[in-house]
Amino acid sequence: MKTSVFAAFFLILTALLCSSSAAAAGICISPESVYQGRTFSVTITGENLSSAQAGFLGKEIPFYSAEGRLHTIIGVSASAPSGQHPVKITVADMSGNTEDHTAYIYVRPYKFQAEKLLFPPQKKGKLTAEKIYGDQQTLEEVLRTWTGERFWQSSFILPLKGKVTSPFGAYRLYNEKRLGDHRGVDIGGNPAGTPIKATNSGVVAFANPLPAYGSTVVIDHGQGVHSIYMHLSKTLVKAGQFIDKGTVLGRVGSTGISTGPHLHWGISIHDTRVDPISWINSAKRY
């Protein structure tokens, strides 16, 4: 009961933080609270706005101009601490004057499940910390490149139908050792070769094989949003290519470290992985 009252207090506090100032007529965070692994937006309205930057949990996030306002979206990782967190915002006007503001978001805890991984003998040799870390570093370079133009429109779609065999945020155990949190969802139940569609429009930012993640495609949807597709048996797109929502970009496989044919699908928001399923119904509000 105490926790609920505490959370409700900060929901009310945050709702009141659509504040006004000389440089920015209003700063609004939506929604007022967010679960771990989800996304929230920040909008700034006012006269003569030029640019803005937000700081949240150690990351610096740019704003983008849209219809006379400044807007950005911020991802909350599965491992983000629950509770109230500041969003520190610096706003600049056309004359170069800057003003600092602080708004708040309440991060709600989500109970992620644990799962044990069992690999066939031929795959066990690939499961090394060095290979996983190397793949992560390769993708980080891609996911830290943010395009100012927004390519995606309206809602995102599932890249293929199937059963979610491993949910977002699950912490994985192999030989009783924790490998880390699952940064996407695994969609199984489809044979190798099943077509995989682009979840929304964008530019192919990466299309190459990786030792642990297998054949991987990353689409840059613009303004800090990327979608990720791993373990493909075949890649049908090339880096630099613009593709529309629903375009077949590859086929289901089991390349890299994989227990069988499936698609690992992820969404990254300014280099923070969030639950991609949450973007199927909520992307319109961003």
- Looking up tokens 């504040």 gives 19
| d(C-alpha 164, C-alpha 188), whole Å | 6
| d(C-alpha 179, C-alpha 230), whole Å | 18
Whether domain 2-108 has CATH 2.60.40.10: the reply is yes
Per-domain residue ranges of the chain: 2-108, 114-285
Q: What is the model's pLDDT at position 126? A: 56
Separation in Å, CA 124 to CA 116, 127, 174, 212? 14, 5, 10, 11
Q: Are strands 33-35 and 98-108 parallel, antiparallel or unpaired?
A: parallel
Q: Are strands 234-235 and 272-274 parallel, antiparallel or unpaired?
A: unpaired
Map the chain to HEC letters: CHHHHHHHHHHHHHHCCCECCCCCCEEEEECCEEECCCEEEEEEECCCEEEEEEEECCEEEECEEECCEEEEEEECCCCCCCEEEEEEEEEEECCCCEEEEEEEEEEECCCCCEEECCCCHHHHCCCCHHHHHHHHHHHHHHHCCCCCCCCCCCCCCCCCCCEEEECCCCEEEECCEEEEECCCEEEECCCCCCEEECCCCEEEEEEEEECCCEEEEEEEEECCEEEEEEEECEECCCCCCEECCCCEEEECECCCCCCCCEEEEEEEECCEEECCCHHHHHHHHC
Torsion-angle region of 30 (φ positive above 0: left; ψ -120 to 50: alpha; else: beta): beta
Superfamily assignment of 114-285 in CATH?
Glucose Permease (Domain IIA) (2.70.70.10)
Q: What is the model's pLDDT at position 18? A: 55
Cis peptide before 31 (omega within 30 of 0): yes
Q: What is the model's pLDDT at position 5? A: 40
Phi, psi of 235 (to 5 degrees): -105, 130
Residues of the chain predicted below pLDDT 70: 1-25, 114-130, 171-180, 283-284
113 close to 167: Cβ distance less than 8 angstroms: yes
Q: What is the model's pLDDT at position 154? A: 86
User: In terms of C-beta distances under 8 Å and separation of at least 24 residues, what long-range contacts does 2-11 make, across chains too?
Assistant: 7/33, 7/106, 7/108, 10/84, 10/104, 10/106, 11/106
pTM of the model: 0.86
- CA 67-71-75 angle, to 5 degrees, is 150
Q: What is the model's pLDDT at position 11? A: 41
| d(C-alpha 98, C-alpha 37), whole Å | 31
- CA 244-248-251 angle, to 5 degrees, is 150
